[in-house]
Amino acid sequence: MRQKIVVGNWKMNNTIAESSALASELVAALGKGFSGCEVGIAPTYVALQEAGKIIAGSAVQLVAQNCHYENDGAFTGEISTGMLKAVGCSYVIIGHSERRQFFGETNATVNLRIKKALAEGLKVILCVGETLAERESEVTSKVVTSQVTEGLAGISDISTVVIAYEPVWAIGTGKTASSAQAEEVHLLIRNTITKLYGDAAAGKLRIQYGGSVKPSNAAELFAMPNIDGGLIGGASLNAADFAAIIKAAS
């Protein structure tokens, strides 16, 4: 039985003070002894340390929104795995659609970042998903399969990798893939992992859904056999809503 995993991606939201307040509200809403599913929050880089202090000792883990594939150097605006580990991150999100869409992320650079993160002991959430144009052109399967295959190229052990399926057309739009649509792509991803790594690895792999998940639709989505939780955007900025989604996964 795969344990559900729910992670809140706060994106470019909240000051340090606001992030600290939200983290405190979430810990209070869940209770320090909560263990129904694996939980994480991904504040902005500047808020990681302070948010990390607040969630220390709770069931909530600290997650980074990205990482670079070099240890240090002339990479203005980037952040290294060593820096993330130093502030207590256990997971890093890689390949989010917004990184692909706005900042030139490719399957090749996703692969480099994943290799670096895993080599440094960070767990990875690999994001994949198609745009509206790609879905309407009926190339969802090709796009997602390529993102998974090329993103994980040369990686032999995926035991600390989570995949998040995020249909780009359902992120921040209020639109949500139906539970059947989401399940179809989650099954595609699991079948792709079976071909790459075998039945055992595919059976253990956790696949999250991301795309306008709310308290009102979380339970139906998480009830699907291949949906193992969620990567939550907007709803994670409200402690009560995020806690409700987490409890739906439990």
234 known member of a binding site: yes
Contact 42/74 with Cβ under 8 angstroms?
Answer: no
User: Is 68 part of the annotated catalytic residue set?
Assistant: no
Catalytic residue (one of 130, 166, 183, 186): 166
169 annotated ligand binder: no
Catalytic residue flag (residue 96): yes
Residues 6+ apart with CB under 8 A from 66: 79, 92, 93, 94, 96, 99, 113
How buried is 129 (Cβ within 10 angstroms: 0-12 exposed, 13-18 middle, 19+ buried)? buried
Is 9 annotated in a binding site? The answer is: yes
Q: Is 52 annotated as a binding residue?
A: no
* 32 marked ligand binding residue: no
**Cα–Cα–Cα angle for 203, 209, 215, nearest 5°?**
125
CA dihedral defined by 20, 248, 212, 84, rounded to 10 degrees? 40
Q: Is 13 annotated to bind ligand?
A: no
What is d(CA 229, CA 216) in angstroms, rounded to the nearest whole number?
15
Report d(CA 148, CA 21) in Å as an integer.
36
Residue 48 amino acid letter? L
Strand locations in the chain (E): 5-9, 38-42, 60-64, 91-94, 123-128, 161-165, 206-209, 229-232
95 is in an annotated binding site: no
Q: Are 222 and 248 in contact (CB under 8 A)?
A: yes
Catalytic member of 68, 96, 98, 186: 96
From residue 15, alpha-carbon distances to 50, 64, 102, 237 in Å are 11, 16, 22, 12
Which residues belong to the annotated binding site for substrate? 9-11, 172, 212, 233-234
Binding region: 9-11, 172, 212, 233-234
Catalytic site positions: 96, 166
